[in-house]
């Protein structure tokens, strides 16, 4: 006789009610279902590089795995060699001197760093400035730690830069209302999803804003080497280390998304506070992986040049897809994506991307995923093999765009 199944009355923590399942977690399940049903869906959605890391990094990983003394627990702040080469990386690419002993903290991916930083600095109710549009994790993690999420708008007319007058108004209104202070601000340049690159002037102004208002500026910086002739770090601005934290990652720059190797850089006190959180959450990274990351950090610039040449070829196809859909875009965008504004006749970005998915079997991300300010935009990832990218373009071209526009108009 089967036992009766009972539904328990246990409820999750309130913080779970504050966040939803990550968009890509849900949508990729749907895409996987379509593929299982025999539909050959091409993904232009996720920003996970499809090419391998350097062969010498893979060899270094395999060689290190054979050693008998590399499988134990590792230091919470990473092995000295990794911190040393992260410092060399910053010196070579950004012209910044970092003390590998005190100013660098390796991470199991920079996404982990967002959570650790939030736990280290934000009390429940503290304000945190989050960009709209922006990386959804800034919002979800802020919600999980009980912070008060204060959205600030990025606008195409302002080059997708913060409006500092608006920021000052936000802080003044919060002070007048008696709410807890805004303690931290998330920025992300080169920007995802918009592809806007930073200038030295923007970083200088952000640092000055943080200093004047005693709030931490966190720059998430994983895209600076992709289709970008002038990699920048906010830490190059005068006084930045006093008030800024920068996250970086080898996921995009070195084709290592699944390896989960990231870092943060800041002043020694900030690093120690984040390390205090991190040491209570994980037990370090596998040493062979760290040694392989060291090898990857030694990669010469010509490898990145070759990688960017391929991304430029894919970017041309992405622009052709945007053109075929009647979207407009800024050709000066940098990074792994192309961000485009949909035609006025189209009902919404989600309507358009679903139409493309179901009719052309191509997965493109609606801008609404990144906030209300992204509603009239779509994002195309360049992380797709060349031959599939070309097929995706041909499929989308076969859509009758005029009819598609008309259908959208009828729905509205």
pLDDT of residue 404: 60
pLDDT digits (tens, 9 = 90+) for 44-56: 988 888 899 999 9
Average pLDDT, the chain: 91
CA 107 to chain centre: 15
Specify burial of residue 60 (Cβ count, 10 A radius: 0-12, 13-18, 19+): buried
Please report the domains of the chain, with CATH numbers, ordered by start residue. 19-48+302-411 (3.90.1150.10), 55-297 (3.40.640.10)
pLDDT above 90 for 411: no
Band of pLDDT at residue 151, cut at 50, 70 and 90: very high
pLDDT given for residue 105 in this prediction:
98
Torsion angle of alpha carbons 259, 132, 176, 169, nearest 10°? 120
- pLDDT number for residue 36: 86
| Residue 56: HSE in the Cβ half-sphere, 13 Å Cα cutoff | 8
At 341-400, the pLDDT tens digits run: 999 989 999 999 999 999 999 999 999 999 999 999 999 999 999 999 999 999 999 886
pLDDT at 401 over 80: no
pLDDT of residue 14: 80
Q: For residue 21, what pLDDT is reported?
A: 64
Say whether the peptide bond before residue 190 is cis (omega within 30 degrees of 0): yes
Please say if the pLDDT value at position 252 is more than 90. yes
Provide, rounded to the nearest whole percent, the portion of the chain with pLDDT above 90.
80
The pLDDT tens digits of the residues spanning 40-84 come to 989 998 888 889 999 999 999 999 999 999 999 999 999 999 999
Higher-confidence residue of 28 and 229: namely: 229
pLDDT at 191: 97
pLDDT of the residue at 114? 96
- Is the pLDDT at 11 greater than 90? The verdict is no
294-319 pLDDT, tens digit per residue, is 999 999 999 999 999 999 999 999 99
Query: What pLDDT score was predicted for residue 22?
Result: 63
pLDDT at residue 7 greater than cutoff 70: no
- Label residues 252-291 b or e (16+ Cβ within 10 Å = b): bbbbbbebbbbbbbbbeebbebbbeebeeeeebbbbbbbb
pLDDT for 192 beyond 60:
yes
16 pLDDT tier (thresholds 50, 70, 90): confident
State how far the Cα of 82 lies from the Cα of 100, in Å rounded to an integer: 9
Under the banding of pLDDT at 50, 70 and 90, the label for residue 412 is: very low
> Which residue has better confidence, 3 or 123?
123
CB under 8 Å to 129, separation ≥6 — which residues?
150, 151, 152, 167, 170, 182, 184, 185, 186, 215
Neighbours of 169 (CB within 10 A): 11
- pLDDT at position 81 is 97
Arithmetic mean of pLDDT, 2-28: 70
HEC string of the chain? Answer: CCCCCCCCCCCCCHHHHHCCCCHHHHHHHHHHHHHHCCCCCEECCCCCCCCCCCHHHHHHHHHHHCCCCCCCCCCCCCCHHHHHHHHHHHHHHHCCCCCCCCCEEEECCHHHHHHHHHHHHCCCCCEEEEEECCCHHHHHHHHHCCCEEEEEEECHHHCCCECHHHHHHHHHHHHHHCCCCEEEEEECCCCCCCCCCCCHHHHHHHHHHHHHHCCEEEEECCCCCCCCCCCCCHHHCCCHHHHEEEEEEHHHHCCCHHHCCEEEECCHHHHHHHHHHHCCCCCCCCHHHHHHHHHHHCCCHHHHHHHHHHHHHHHHHHHHHHHHCCCEECCCCCCCEEEEECCCCCCCHHHHHHHHHHHHCEECEEHHHHCHHHCCEEEEECCCCHHHHHHHHHHHHHCCHHHHHHHHHHHC
Q: What is the mean pLDDT of residues 159-185?
A: 94
pLDDT > 80? residue 219: yes
306: exposed, middle or buried (C-beta count within 10 Å: 0-12, 13-18, 19+)?
Answer: exposed
Q: Are 226 and 311 in contact (CB under 8 A)?
A: yes
Rg (CA), the chain: 22
Q: Which two tokens stand for residue 140?
A: 């979800």
pTM of the model: 0.91
Residue 324's pLDDT is 94
Name the more confident of 141 and 26: 141
């Amino acid at each position: 006789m089967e036992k009766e199944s009972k539904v328990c009355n246990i409820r999750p923590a309130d913080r779970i009610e504050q966040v939803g399942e990550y968009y890509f977690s849900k949508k990729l399940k749907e895409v996987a279902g379509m593929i299982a049903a025999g539909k050959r869906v091409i993904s232009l959605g996720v920003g996970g590089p499809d090419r391998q890391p350097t062969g010498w990094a893979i060899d270094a990983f395999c060689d290190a795995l054979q050693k008998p003394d590399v499988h134990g627990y590792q230091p919470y702040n990473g092995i000295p060699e990794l911190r040393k080469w992260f410092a060399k990386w910053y010196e070579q690419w950004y012209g910044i001197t970092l003390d590998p002993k005190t100013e660098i903290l390796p991470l199991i991916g920079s996404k982990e760093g967002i959570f650790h930083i939030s736990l280290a600095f934000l009390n429940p109710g503290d304000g945190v400035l989050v960009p709209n549009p922006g990386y959804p994790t800034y919002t979800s993690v802020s919600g999980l730690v009980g912070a008060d999420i204060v959205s600030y708008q990025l606008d195409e007319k302002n080059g997708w830069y913060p409006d500092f007058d608006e920021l000052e108004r936000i802080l003044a209104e919060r002070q007048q209302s008696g709410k807890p202070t805004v303690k931290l601000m998330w920025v992300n340049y080169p920007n995802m999803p918009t592809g806007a690159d930073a200038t030295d002037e923007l970083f200088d102004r952000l640092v000055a804003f943080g200093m004047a208002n005693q709030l931490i500026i966190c720059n998430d910086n994983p895209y600076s080497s992709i289709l970008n002739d002038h990699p920048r770090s906010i830490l190059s601005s005068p006084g930045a280390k006093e008030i800024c934290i920068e996250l970086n990652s080898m996921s995009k720059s070195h084709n290592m998304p699944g390896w989960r190797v990231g870092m943060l850089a800041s002043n020694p006190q900030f690093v120690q506070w984040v390390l205090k959180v991190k040491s209570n959450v994980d037990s370090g990274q596998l040493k062979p992986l760290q040694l392989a990351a060291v090898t990857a950090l030694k990669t010469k610039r010509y490898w990145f040049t070759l990688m960017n040449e391929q991304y430029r070829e894919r970017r041309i196809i992405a622009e052709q897809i945007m053109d075929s859909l009647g979207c407009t875009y800024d050709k000066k965008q940098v990074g792994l994506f192309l961000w485009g504004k949909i035609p006025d006749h189209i009902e919404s970005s989600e309507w358009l991307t679903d139409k493309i998915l179901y009719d052309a079997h191509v997965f493109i991300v609606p801008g609404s995923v990144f906030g209300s300010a992204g509603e009239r935009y779509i994002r195309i990832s360049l992380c797709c093999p060349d031959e599939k990218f070309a097929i995706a373009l041909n499929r989308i071209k076969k859509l009758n765009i005029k009819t598609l526009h008309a259908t959208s108009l009828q729905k509205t």
